[in-house]
């Protein structure tokens, strides 16, 4: 592993610890009207999966 990649990984992990995840939408449900939908997102760094309402 290159040193630069290692540093980026450490910084990314710190950001995750602070709650700044690099979320990517892996599933989404379209809502209707005011009900809204939900989207499932996963952090590309730590793998945390969160379902949140839109
Ligand atoms: Zn994360």
Residue 16: predicted pLDDT: 96
Cα 42 to averaged position of ligand 1 atoms, centre (Å): 8
Cα 51 to averaged position of ligand 1 atoms, centre (Å): 14
DSSP 2-51: -HHHHHHHHHHHHHHHTT---EEEEEE----TTS--EEEEEETTT--EEE
| Domain residue spans of the chain | 3-53
Cα 44 to averaged position of ligand 1 atoms, centre (Å): 7
pLDDT tens, residue by residue, 12-39: 999 999 999 999 999 998 877 777 889 9
Cα 34 to averaged position of ligand 1 atoms, centre (Å): 30
Residue 3: predicted pLDDT: 61
With beta carbons less than 8 A apart as the criterion, state whether 46 and 21 touch: yes
Query: CA 42 from chain center: how many Å?
Result: 4
Please determine, for residue 47, whether its predicted confidence score (pLDDT) is greater than 90: yes
Q: Which of 30, 28, 29, 32 is nearest to 41 (CA)?
A: 28
Query: pTM surpassing 0.75?
Result: no
Where residue 2 falls among pLDDT bands split at 50, 70, 90? low
């Amino acid at each position: 592993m290159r040193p630069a990649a290692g540093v980026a990984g450490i910084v990314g992990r710190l950001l995750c610890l602070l709650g700044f995840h690099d979320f990517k939408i892996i599933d989404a449900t379209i809502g209707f009207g005011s009900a809204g939908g939900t989207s499932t997102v996963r952090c590309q760094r730590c793998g945390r999966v969160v379902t949140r309402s839109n």
